[in-house]
Chain A
């Protein structure tokens, strides 16, 4: 089945937030903090501007709490006394002319008395820079299995390593944007680009001091998210709503690229330290891992990013003794937030690069070492979750190596490298997993709900809060619903996420949408059958006729089937001890990268890439493949080119000219293969796949570079400048 809204997108008919032309709309803009940390002394409005033309909002205009509603309520909607990062929102302006609004922003000066800022998460903060708890730790989490110290003491080999990754900017092609207005019933409406309408709703009710009936959130077509539109839209939605309420006119805020890059969330920078014990036969006996994430200026989602990060840190290997200590640290930079993979890419990069380092130290090949240690059915992960899904994880790895012609390439490279003047080739891989859906008891807390309505004409309407942002959610929902009901897709419609119409089926994050919410759709259709007294296996005309008949005899326009998430009984998670089923299921993968390094420029090019994964069930081949290929290329960017450059706590390269993402000409075809092993609790057997593909490229590529050259890279992005330094150090 082809993408539902594909033609609208291809023909330019899809109306994104900036395309919605609202009569009498004002342009909203944001005045931001000029420094990383300080106290606001004064806000000066230039006398050269006629401020009577502007609507001006500051923290005093917030009717509810000046807090962005999330895990902790530490982030203000608008700064009051204190600023904690550069580009933090302080004052909002609206004007009928976009250009005048821009001039207005230039005409406001936020005078700040600077305070000592914490700018490097890797160094312990001195007292003057501590702003959270005793040592700026936003969150601490740990996993303990067995006796790590004893195992390390008796291990044949102990290998240590430290791995670092930098911030990554999402670069969704559509910048953040929201429109807000107050409707005729006095309801504050916000429409815009977002992943999670109910997160935005919660933020609005909290900041505006209204109930859910008094606020309404509608998703506009969303031009890419990757996690960047998970939490930040709450901020900008509150801003647009505050302006609209004060102006009593619609207000549109659409960031330009520079503002979006400078002021919105990014992937958490990380440092991961490994100390690994291995016995004589190459078996892992101890994994001692410390994970540190840069959380940025507020708590936002860091505790859950850290959680997913540490759970993935020990990887898809069997080891009886594991200790993982994780810490997220406050710094005075933009809050780091959700980004595809959510902590797992950082820890899996470290782990899979380290696995190659360990193999080399103990005189094994990377594949031999992994073959011995990849988790077998009946063995358990670091949290003690016993894996028994029947997937052949070694087989996934072997298939990846086979497709990449790994053995043959190694031989070819040896002769190529011996003869070429300045090019060196190498091949490397990573074996990894990604937990699908929310971590631990997350899905239980969410208690997601889904509605499927049968309409009087027999049409079936699917109502969820899950958003299409390019990943293909609506197309997949359509297929799941049509097949569950046994009807043609033309008889199913997917409702626009609108909090006045759709139930809270949870956020569109964590690779959960097809798997978890898709399953809820199937169950809601079962409920619909029960509501109308249709047979439990009623499908096709039997079902639609029954819907029509029920509506007709009850004088109703619709009949609603409902479902709510139910925890699979075997999933048991202990939040206190961090033990048990961290995820209902995992997707398993091996990615193989072949690289060519140009010794003239230290430029690394990926010349072949193979991605093999077991994902339960492929719901739509084209969409699934597109998810993998897109994630891999995003991972190639993170590994080799994408580097946020900081100046006094602000992103200095907040331009697409200077923050470099791959073009079509920078990447090779990404060869994708799926293996299937249906998951009982996923729609049609599917597991989540959205995040998986970003976990593998960075370690595979760096392993390939290590194979090509006589260096051991440990940090990403491995730009040519960094590789040159590394090679110089290695050869001094």
Chain B
């Protein structure tokens, strides 16, 4: 049992590395990542869990980091857009999946998750899986085509 008043120390696996941070109990994972750890790739779009710009993977599944209290990241595996490699996003670049870029990191994070779970497409459409990431620039075609292309590349190489 622990009594948390004042700062709490948490440890998590962040982008493959063990990281410890002192967090205020009132801090959101989004703020810890951006302001305490300097990982500004994760964006804030709405602060209400609606737009998905702040998506990160938590134990491999997308979550809105604006709705995660940082203390709940303790012991968890967190992956942010900074963990993604240039080769991963080539199909998204070619398809025009990014325009202004503000929603893009969230889209890339969700796309990485879809890519690891092609079996989801047996029950879900890509549009449904990507519906938690709002974009105001692309009209989504560039995004959907990019993720489809990623899956096709993976399908051919596996």
In the complex, chain A residues 120-158 whose Cβ is within 8 Å of any chain B Cβ: none
Residues 126-151 of chain B, each 1 if its beta carbon lies under 8 Å from chain A, else 0:
11101111111111111110000000
Asked if A522 is an interface residue, CB under 8 A from chain B, the answer is no
Stretch in A74-82, A468-476, A714-722 with 4+ CB within 8 Å of B: A468-476
- Is B42 part of the contact surface with A, judged by Cβ < 8 Å? yes
Residues of B within 8 A of A257 (CB): 45-48
8 Å CB contacts to B: which residues of A628-648? 628-634
User: Interface 1/0s, chain A 146-190, versus B by CB < 8 A?
Assistant: 000000000000000000000000111111000000000000000
Inter-chain contacts of A11 with B (CB < 8 A): 41, 81-82, 84, 86, 89, 105, 108
Collect the chain B residues with CB atoms within 8 Å of residue A10's CB.
84, 89, 92-93, 97-98, 101, 104-105, 108
What is the total of A-B residue contacts with beta carbons within 8 Å?
Answer: 184
Q: Does B1 count as interface, using CB distance less than 8 angstroms?
A: no
Instruction: Tell whether, in the assembled complex, residue B46 and residue A9 are in contact, meaning their CB atoms are under 8 Å apart.
Output: no
**Are A174 and B81 closer than 8 Å at their CB atoms?**
no
Pick the interface stretch among A482-490, A573-581, A656-664: A656-664
Q: Is A64 an interface residue (CB 8 A)?
A: no
Chain A residues, Cβ within 8 Å of B105:
9-12
Asked if A7 and B89 sit within 8 Å, CB to CB, the answer is yes
Contact status B128-A665, CB under 8 Å: yes
Complex CA gap A224/B53 in Å reads 13
The reply to whether A223 and B48 form a contact with Cβ atoms under 8 Å apart is no
Residues of A within 8 A of B94 (CB): 2, 622
In chain A, residues 177-232, which have Cβ atoms closer than 8 Å to a Cβ of chain B?
A: 221-226
Whether the Cβ atoms of A173 and B103 lie closer than 8 Å is yes
**Complex contact B47–A12 (CB within 8 A):** no
- Residues of B within 8 Å of A632, CB to CB, are 139
Are B102 and A223 neighbours in the complex by a CB distance under 8 Å? yes
In the complex where A16-B102, A626-B99, A657-B48 touch, is A173 in contact with B53 (Cβ < 8 A)?
yes
CB-CB under 8 A from A629, the residues of chain B are: 138-142
B38 / chain A contacts, CB cutoff of 8 Å: 21
Complex CA gap A88/B13 in Å reads: 45
For the complex, is B50 an interface residue (Cβ under 8 Å from A)?
Answer: yes
Question: Given A174-B102, A669-B141, are A622 and B96 also a contact pair (CB < 8 Å)?
Answer: yes
B139 touches A663 (CB 8 A): no
Q: Within 8 Å CB of B11, what residues of A? A: none
Q: A655 interface residue, CB < 8 Å from B?
A: yes
Chain A residues closer than 8 Å to B84, beta-carbon distance? 10-12
What are the residues of chain A within 8 A of B95 when measuring CB–CB?
622
Tell me, rounded to whole Å, the shortest Cβ–Cβ distance linking B125 to chain A: 7
Q: B102 to A665, Cβ gap below 8 A?
A: no
Q: Check A171–B140 contact: CB distance below 8 A.
A: no
- Interface SS of B by simple majority: loop
Instruction: Flag whether A15 is at the interface (Cβ < 8 A).
Output: yes
Other-chain residue from B41, B133, B142 in contact with A13 (beta carbon distance below 8 A)? B41
The interface residues of chain A lying within 8 Å CB-to-CB of B98 are 3, 6, 9-10
Return the contact of B139 from the options A170, A221, A469, A667 (Cβ within 8 A).
A667
Q: Using an 8 Å CB-CB cutoff, how does the interface string of A11-45 with B read, 1 for contact, 0 for none?
A: 11111101101000000000000000000000000
Contact in complex: A223, B142 (CB < 8 Å)? no
A256 within 8 A of B: yes
Most buried by A among B81, B128, B136, B139: B139
- Does A501 sit at the interface, judged by CB under 8 A? no
Q: Say yes or no: A469-B100 contact (C-beta < 8 A), given A224-B136, A663-B131.
A: yes
What residue in chain A is nearest B107 (Cβ atoms)? A10
- Distance of A2 Cα from B89 Cα, bound (Å): 12
A329 at the interface (CB under 8 A from B): no
The reply on A392 being an interface residue by CB < 8 A is no
B15 to chain A, nearest CB (A): 11
Q: Measured between C-beta atoms, what is the minimum distance from A619 to chain B in Å?
A: 14
Determine if A633 and B140 form an interchain contact, defined as CB atoms under 8 angstroms apart: yes
For B144, what are the chain A residues with a Cβ–Cβ distance below 8 Å?
A: 664, 669
B70 within 8 A of A: no
Complex Cα gap A631–B99 (Å): 12
A371 CB within 8 Å of chain B:
no
- Asked if A623 contacts B40 (CB within 8 A), the reply is no
Residue A275 CB within 8 A of the other chain: no
Q: Tell me if A598 counts as interface (CB < 8 A to partner B).
A: no
Q: Are B140 and A470 in contact (CB under 8 A)?
A: no
CA distance A676 to B75 in the complex (A): 58
Bound CA–CA A657/B67 (angstroms): 14
For the complex, is A5 an interface residue (Cβ under 8 Å from B)?
yes
Min C-beta distance of B100 to chain A, whole Å: 3
| CB within 8 Å for A665 and B101 given contacts A173-B135, A226-B136, A670-B139 | no
Nearest A residue to B53 via CB reads: A173
Q: Is the CB of B93 within 8 A of A3?
A: yes
Residues on B with C-beta less than 8 A from A256 are: 44, 47
A11-B81, A223-B101 known; A661 vs B47 contact (CB < 8 Å)? no
Q: Is A539 an interface residue (CB 8 A)?
A: no
CB-nearest residue of chain B relative to A637? B136
- Is residue B51 within 8 Å, beta carbon to beta carbon, of the partner chain? yes
Chain A window 458-501, contacts with chain B (Cβ cutoff 8 Å), 1 for yes, 0 for no:
00000000000111100000000000000000000000000000
> Do B136 and A634 have beta carbons less than 8 Å apart?
yes
Contacts of A2 in B (CB 8 A): 93-94
Expressed in whole angstroms, the Cα–Cα distance for A171 and B137 within the complex equals 10
Q: Is A625's CB within 8 Å of the partner chain B?
A: yes
Complex interface: chain A residues within 8 A of B80 (CB): 12
The answer on a CB contact under 8 Å between B143 and A664 is: yes
A664–B133 touching, CB < 8 Å = yes
CB distance from A610 to the nearest CB of B (A): 13
Interchain CA distance A471-B131 in the complex, whole Å: 22
Residues of B within 8 A of A670 (CB): 139, 141
Within 8 A of B (CB), among A641-687: 655-657, 661, 663-667, 669-670
Query: What's the minimum C-beta distance from B48 to chain A, rounded to whole angstroms?
Result: 6
Beta-carbon nearest neighbor of B105 in chain A: A12
| Cα–Cα distance between A258 and B35 once the two chains are bound (Å) | 21
- With A2-B93, A3-B93, A664-B131 in contact, is A626–B137 under 8 Å at CB? yes
Asked whether A656 and B93 contact (CB < 8 A) given A19-B40, A173-B136, the answer is no
A332 to B128, CA, bound (A): 40
With a CB–CB cut-off of 8 A, which chain A residues contact B136? 170-173, 224, 226, 630, 634, 661
Give min CB distance, A7 to chain B, whole Å.
6
Shortest Cβ distance from A169 into chain B, in angstroms? 10
- Identify the closest chain B residue to A221 (Cβ): B101
Within the complex, the shortest CB–CB distance from A571 to chain B, in Å, comes to 31
Contact status B82-A224, CB under 8 Å: no
What are 10 inter-chain pairs, A to B, with CB distance below 8 A? A10-B104, A12-B41, A12-B105, A173-B134, A257-B46, A258-B47, A622-B96, A630-B135, A655-B46, A667-B139
New A-B pairs, 18, CB < 8 Å, besides A9-B104, A472-B99, A669-B141: A3-B98, A9-B101, A10-B98, A10-B108, A12-B81, A174-B43, A224-B99, A469-B100, A625-B142, A626-B99, A630-B136, A655-B46, A656-B51, A661-B134, A661-B136, A664-B135, A666-B131, A667-B140
Nearest 3 Cβ contacts at the A-B interface: A12-B41, A470-B100, A223-B102
